[in-house]
Amino acid sequence: MNISVILNGKKTILEAAPDDSLMKVLRNQSLTTVKCGCNSGLCGSCTVLLDDKPVASCKIPIGIINNSEIETLEYFMNTKDYEIIMKGFDLANIKLCGYCNAGKIFCAYQILKKNKIPSREQILNQIKTLSPCCTDINTLANGIIYAYEIKDKGYATSIKRRDK
């Protein structure tokens, strides 16, 4: 089956069986930031943006995404949003392990897209489904709060690190 998508900004035809997972197809495209982890959509290692929303690509059959836009972490790493998120994560002293990065980063991106600053409780509610292996949930929430402050204020140097 041929599936027409926009993959990392380029119109692409993906060839796969309709029930193949998006994760498998993207891995076959040598997109190495899409990792195979738990295969149940919880760890975050296979997260991609599908039509600008983070999804667990292991749970998405390729046959349902015709004419969709897919963005992997490889592509997203070249954006201003990524830079802001990484500055926030740095302020929270988050060390990325390389395994579940996409889940954490794309979850932060989804939260930062909102115009109104979310409460800590709202952030914790949105990230509670992640099972990051290298960062606890409270530290991740701190990183997202820092990133929001950077985005909102447009600077990183005057924000002081919060205790956990």
Q: CA 91: distance to chain centroid?
A: 19
Tell me if residue 68 falls in helix, strand or coil.
Answer: coil
Phi then psi dihedrals of residue 55, to 5 deg: -140, 155
The answer to whether 93 and 37 are in contact (CB under 8 A) is: no
Give pLDDT, residue 155.
57
How many CB atoms are located within 10 Å of the residue 129 CB? 12
Residues in contact with 28: Cβ distance below 8 Å, sequence separation at least 6, in sequence order: 16
164 residues of the chain, pLDDT tens digit each: 999 999 999 999 999 999 999 999 999 999 999 999 888 887 889 999 999 999 999 999 999 999 999 999 999 999 999 999 999 999 999 988 888 899 999 999 999 998 677 888 989 988 887 776 778 889 999 999 999 999 877 654 444 544 44
How far, in Å, CA of 43 to CA of 40, rounded?
Answer: 8
Q: Where are the alpha helices (DSSP H) in the chain?
A: 22-28, 73-76, 80-91, 101-112, 120-127, 137-153
- Supply the pLDDT for residue 157: 46
Q: What is the pLDDT of residue 91?
A: 96
